[in-house]
Amino acid sequence: MRAVAARPSGSGRYLSAGQAAVRAARLAELHPGLVAVRQVGRSRGGRPLVLVSVGRGPRHVLAVGGPHPNEPVGTATALHLAERAVQEPELRRGGEVTWNVLLCLDPDGAALNEGWLGGPLTMERHYRSFYRPALEDQPEWLPAAGSGRAALPETAALTTVIDELRPFLQCSLHGVDVGGTFVQLTGPVPGLAEPFARSAAAAGLPLERGPYDAFFWPSPGPGLYVMPAAGAKDRFAALAENSAHSTWSYVQRHGGVTAVVEVPMWAAPGVADAAPHPDPAGALGEAAGVLLRETEPLAELLALARPLLPAPEGPLLRSALWHLSIVPQLALDWSPEAVAADVGSLSVLSGAHLAGVAIQTARMPVRIAALLVRLLQGAEGPAAAELRRRAGRLLAAHVERFRTGFGVRPVPVGEQVAHQARAVVAAAGALL
């Protein structure tokens, strides 16, 4: 498989789920017999979940776009992969391989983030339209055993597709706001490290060497992380996500591997710093303190705002409450004693590990402030207007800190999409 290809038209911008579906339908019209488009389910809000398949081979790749709605790159990459599979017959391996892309796993959430897609892709505009679901509203997570919860409709649709296709590779197409690029794997993919690093270099993206999401995962190469064995430390305690109870791991029952491919909207060079950190204990303690200080006024503001909100419930409020709820435990997770107990010695922590923690201390307040601003948009009266002004000032300050504090550069959408697609193609090639 070729690692680099001519970029299909339109990959230089983000797409809404609806725009991607229209483009996919057109692709099927142009290539009947090769491209099939079908609805495989509906979201909680009744929106269609659209699967595009290119080829008719017995071996399947499945790429999942839009698993987190604040990460719009995945839907653009999913369509890009379908277009590449049409244009490059070698990806289909002489008819052996079918490429399947689920354009958007959470179209309801994506609709709540569409406000910034049509204008300048600035960080300020991104957070003015920000929404990321609370954990229980995220469709990649299976209900915990004994929870009594049914799977979300989106989750059930995805697992049904996995059971039907039995893919040898599933790729979950994620993005980060600020950071670098990395891949989380549910099993080894020998031969992926070199093409992944080469692709990142071509896009000018730092390989993330200590990502917050894979802080405790073993790494077979720069930017690659393999899910720990059962019983080993998976995530910080504040993150209730359990990788073993996810749609990522679900594919293993059919002998497949999942690659969660992350690509940044704004690249931060510090996440690639593999040198030992000179004072990890001090940096961890400072991060915990900053996190608590910066979120305390936001918690107070939300408490004042709740009686004034036009809707007592809803996804934005659930998200704000969830983000605030994990802050105290996260600060405990970052105590030097807790981290040392998990990693053995703080001396193993690199500059990248602490850069990832520092970025998270800025990410949490900016997200909560963004959700507060959106929640207060529909509130009426002078008290609500004053709270709206306060929330807006806090959001502006937190965005400025995020924008200027980590030496970031914006990554053009075309570079994000091209790199993410190259990573998927390289993973498929390595497994084949």
Residue 91 near residue 1 (C-beta atoms within 8 A): yes
Tell me: pLDDT of 23 over 80: yes
219-228: average pLDDT: 96
Q: Quote the CA–CA distance of 274 and 162 in Å, as a whole number.
A: 37
Spatial CA neighbour of 323 closest among 366, 279, 375, 359 = 366
Give one DSSP letter per residue of 300-364, joined into a string.
HHHHHHGGG-S-SSSHHHHHHHHHHHTHHHHHHHTSHHHHHHHHS-GGG-BHHHHHHHHHHHHHH
Q: Determine the pLDDT at residue 103.
A: 98
**What pLDDT sits at residue 418?**
97
pLDDT value at residue 9: 40
Report pLDDT digits (tens) over 254-312.
Answer: 999 999 999 999 999 999 999 999 999 999 999 999 999 999 999 999 999 999 998 77
**Mind listing the pLDDT tens digit for each residue in 115-132?**
888 889 999 999 999 999
- Model confidence at 7: pLDDT above 70: no
Q: Look at residue 6 and tell me whether its pLDDT is greater than 70.
A: no
Q: What is the pTM of this model?
A: 0.95
Q: What is the mean pLDDT of the chain?
A: 94
**pLDDT-derived band at 333, boundaries 50, 70, 90:** very high
Q: Are 179 and 200 in contact (CB under 8 A)?
A: no
Mean pLDDT of the region 409-420: 97
How much is the pLDDT for 5? 38
The span from the CA of 314 to the CA of 41, in Å, is 23
CA 373 to chain centre: 22
What pLDDT score does 378 carry? 85
Residues 384-394, mean pLDDT to the nearest whole number: 97
Task: Indicate if the pLDDT at residue 145 is higher than 80.
Answer: no
pLDDT at 8 over 80: no
pLDDT per position as a tens digit, 64-107: 999 999 999 999 999 999 999 999 999 999 999 999 999 999 99
Tell which wins on pLDDT, 2 or 309.
309
Predicted confidence (pLDDT) per residue in 237-257, tens digit: 898 777 888 999 999 999 999
* Per-residue confidence band for 11, with pLDDT thresholds at 50, 70 and 90: low
pLDDT tens-digit profile of 159-189? 999 999 999 999 999 999 999 999 999 999 9
Kindly list the distances between the CA atom of residue 258 and the CA atoms of 123, 224, 247, 315, 384, in Å, as whole numbers in the listed order: 30, 12, 9, 28, 46
User: Rounded to whole angstroms, how far apart are CA atoms 26 and 20?
Assistant: 10
